[in-house]
Structure 1
Amino acid sequence: MRTKLIERLVKQMNNKEFWFCYDLKMGDWIINQGKYPFITKAIHPKSRSVFFLFKKSDRLDLLTGEYKLEKFYKNIV
């Protein structure tokens, strides 16, 4: 019963407002290095994958870009 409710809520969430981050290293980096708050850390009911839920913003876009650049440069050095 609870799983069905969670599934329905996830489907109703507007993906324009929220970002589901399934990369736990990235999520931890955004929270700790970027000092950006997350709404929740949860498990997807069907896939059983852990994710962070963030509210979308320009700052979050900048932080995800910064993380990807940092990860890219670590791989080439």
Structure 2
Amino acid sequence: MLKSVRVKNITVAEAKNASEMMYLGSNLPVLPITMWDDKLIGDGNVGRLTLALSDLLYEDMLSGPERTPISYAKKVFSNK
């Protein structure tokens, strides 16, 4: 479904004319964007690629390796 990825700057007009749009963040799931400034993105529905990437990410999080607990207890450091 996804044949390639590239990174480049695009204009707002190009973005608003996208067939599909999603927000990806480090601590969020894949969030579909279906409207921008009262203009539908694509047909206004969550796109197939957005759904597929969301499913893959969720599946990866469930089946991935066990998490390593990290202690965030306050530590005191010395300059010596």
TM-score (norm 1): 0.30
Larger strand proportion, structure 1 or 2?
1
Higher relative contact order (CA 8 A, sep 6+): 1
Structure index of larger Rg: 2
Larger helix proportion, structure 1 or 2?
1
